[in-house]
Amino acid sequence: MRVDDLLPILCCSACRGELVAAENGFRCSACARVFPWERGVARFVDARNYADNFGFQWQKYALTQMDSERTHASEIDFSRKAGLTVDELRGKRVLDVGCGTGRYAEVATRYGAQVVGIDLSAAAEVAARNLADRDFTAMQADVFGLPFKPESFDVIYSIGVLHHTPDCEQAVKVLPQYLKPGGILAVWLYSGYNKWYRFSDYYRKVTHRMSPQKLHRVLSAAVPVLNRVDQGLKLIPGIGRPAAELVHYVFPVNRHPDPTWRVLETFDWYSPKYQSKHTYEQVFRWFENCGLVDLRVVETPIAVRGRKPERAGVEIERESWQQELQHS
């Protein structure tokens, strides 16, 4: 987006004042704070924060999960976790909360959306590079202090992000204010139904304190070994599979068919400081508390989407129109 198109939806992330264009960035006309535009990214937070592990991860695996001519894995994932269609995105202004490398924003721009991607970490720089030729704007910002005016977006999605904040419930609840009436919110969070991750939660108490470089070195060595043990055990008739499941339960590492994805996903699992798990009951309650309607579950747990009601008159009109449709 051009600066002229951005300014009407932006505000100061500190005092909510009006932003004006300044040399290489924005300045708040109320508190005079300056937000620089560096390496393709508008910066609304300090460079270093609790998400530095993700900055390291996405700089290292900048292209691994981006779709290409060979794979549409992220597009399939996007559909299973956000359930957003081409019709819902074409021509819409969309916010990707925690965009990482921009793999889902790439899909949304391919569908014709104008996307703003925010991320707390230096991943925003990777997304800016990956999507330099798209209708995409990258910002380094915190979901708890977004630099946007209310009702700025038609669609907001956040996939695999809000459970990595200190307070997932509040992170979900801050988002509806930025939706236009009738806009859609879609989130995907880690599932709390199956307790397979019990052991990894213990290990993470230690692993999240390791430097990202060191943890990555450890996992680059351990993941291939555990994968070979897993594959080897499964070849043993009878007790092989239960034994493989037991080892996997005690030492959970990712089982993706691609070895690079396995290390990346395992690092993504063990490096975050915050990682909460959730249920549909919780997320539905949060959406309802925010007044969202038309709630529905999407394919991969825990994926929930809902709609911000139109303004009262339009909402009543829409309901009677829907009732008419049901009776016809």
> Contact residues for ligand SAM (CB under 6 A)?
51, 54, 58, 98-100, 103, 118-121, 123, 142-144, 159-161, 164-165, 268
Distance CA 85, CA 184 (A): 12
Distance CA 248, CA 47 (A): 36
Least Å distance between CB 172 and ligand SAM?
Answer: 12
The secondary structure element, H or E, covering residue 243 is: helix 240-250
Distance CA 138, CA 131 (A): 9
What is residue 186's three-state secondary structure? strand
Least Å distance between CB 207 and ligand SAM?
Answer: 15
Distance CA 187, CA 303 (A): 6
Least Å distance between CB 31 and ligand SAM?
Answer: 21
Tokens, residue 129: 């590079």
Residue with Cβ nearer ligand SAM (146 or 233): 146
Count of positions (residues) in the chain? 328
Least Å distance between CB 74 and ligand SAM?
Answer: 8
Cβ atoms of 17 and 28 closer than 8 Å: yes
How far the first Cα of the chain sits from its last, in Å, is 43
Residue with Cβ nearer ligand SAM (88 or 142): 142
Residue with Cβ nearer ligand SAM (103 or 216): 103
Residue with Cβ nearer ligand SAM (51 or 131): 51
Least Å distance between CB 51 and ligand SAM?
Answer: 4
Cβ atoms of 263 and 245 closer than 8 Å: no
Cβ atoms of 265 and 254 closer than 8 Å: yes
Residue with Cβ nearer ligand SAM (89 or 161): 161
Residue with Cβ nearer ligand SAM (154 or 268): 268
Cβ atoms of 203 and 270 closer than 8 Å: yes
Number of H helices and E strands in the chain, helices first, is: 13, 11
Burial class (CB in 10 A: 0-12, 13-18, 19+), 106: buried
Least Å distance between CB 166 and ligand SAM?
Answer: 8
179-188 vs 153-159, strand pairing mode: parallel
Phi, psi of 9 (to 5 degrees): -100, -5
The secondary structure element, H or E, covering residue 28 is: strand 25-28
Residue with Cβ nearer ligand SAM (189 or 292): 189
Least Å distance between CB 310 and ligand SAM?
Answer: 28
Residue with Cβ nearer ligand SAM (188 or 287): 188
Find the residue with minimal CB distance to ligand SAM.
Answer: 100
